[in-house]
Structure 1
Amino acid sequence: MFDASLVYFVGAGPGDPELITLKGYKILSQADVVIYAGSLINKELLEYCKDGAECHDSAYLHLDQITELMVNGVKNGKLVVRLQTGDLSLYGSIREQGEELAKHNIGFRSVAGVSSFLGAASELGIEYTVPEVSQSLVITRMAGRTPTPELESIERFAAHQTSMAIFLSVQGINQVIAQLSKGGYPDDTPVAVVYKATWEDCQIIRGDLTTIADKVTKAGIRKTALILVGKFLGEEYHYSKLYDAEFSHEYR
């Protein structure tokens, strides 16, 4: 069913082992070689692997070593899976891995996963898009070791005052809040920090721009958490027109 001449990049989902896609599960259960993204991957997912599968933790491997494992697996006729957190399209680094594989004339396929920003929404029971409150979602991160383009700073995005999901930035929560405030969000803007969304040890911290940083610091959360910002977290809500009795069925 799957082509062993290719490497399969599989999105593992946000943490809950049941939130891997069915296709991802099928590939993982048939894989001969699995290279997984360290502690970002719930180890329970590896229980789906067949007996005898080689499982390699990539946390301490550099790109050349990861490439070598993938290339050797394919050349030996093995089905190779690169298991990465969430969905591959967000901060996934698959392009650079794909380019290294191409040097060996090896292609790849991507299997979509459930991103942690979706897992966080399910934990909170919220929608990022609320009628007449917010109809857009900004997904971004604070500049760190990986810089961000000047036009994509948190401060500039904050000027829109729409829903935001901020990845890879909780370690700098004070700087994030400062940029959000400087960009235009009012002090009473709701904020939620979701640590390890959908994992058994998930934590949710709520506050506003004036309180959230202290709460996060006291909780000792410094990684593996999303910062969610915007009025979508508040009490304001308006019914959509989708199920209005007067709304055309064509749009259902």
Structure 2
Amino acid sequence: MRELTTDHISQQFNAELETLRQHFLTMGGVVENQVADSIQALLESDSELAEEVKAKDRTVNQLDGLIDEECTRILAKRQPAATDLRMIVSISKAVSDLERMGDESKKIADHALNLISEGESPRGYVEINRIGQMVSRMVSEALDAYARLDIDQAIRVAKADRNVDLEYKTALRSLATYMMEDPRSISRVLNVIWILRSLERIGDHARHICQHLIYMVKGVDVRHVATDEIENIRSKA
């Protein structure tokens, strides 16, 4: 965030940027809870909690619209440059990732309700729990990195997505084998697979948020940079 100056207009501009930043972090908190609650609702067969996750989607969408309007208004009114411009562009893109995380959490809640109604815990809950914990931690740490402008943590979170992808692929192979051995399980296990797919996508969006943060702080676009090479960003001015 740019430093406040004695100029009234600059102070007002800073206040607008800080409000934008706070709205982003508020939306992030709502989505972070959505992700964690959707997993908990499934593992604990809590249909009421699953419905709460779905209901929060409206709040996420409202914040998405609010932040989009704020970004547009600041760009048109202030015509920011350099760091300020990167901050607005970064938040605008990161908000899109948050909104999609909310959508994926809602999908998880929907599949959880389907599995709860069937009344039987199918194969795959262990994988959901393991990958769910990994992804929830990524989301939390990505938002924490954004709040503190912590590039080192952002890089760690971005690299952690590779482990999620590996766990996801391993789980898919195991579940595919299980369905072939017991065709009666196909309907239930497909719900589990879609949940795992949503978790994997949430991990991707957490990685994207970290990439947007790196762009905001360093001015370097790392969206198409190999994960191992992101380490070099630390030394860039």
Alignment TM class, shorter chain as reference: under 0.3
Q: TM-score, normalised by structure 1?
A: 0.26
Between Structure 1 and Structure 2, the one with more strand by share is 1
Q: Structure with the greater relative contact order (CA < 8 A, sep ≥ 6): 1 or 2?
A: 2
Between Structure 1 and Structure 2, the one with more helix by share is 2
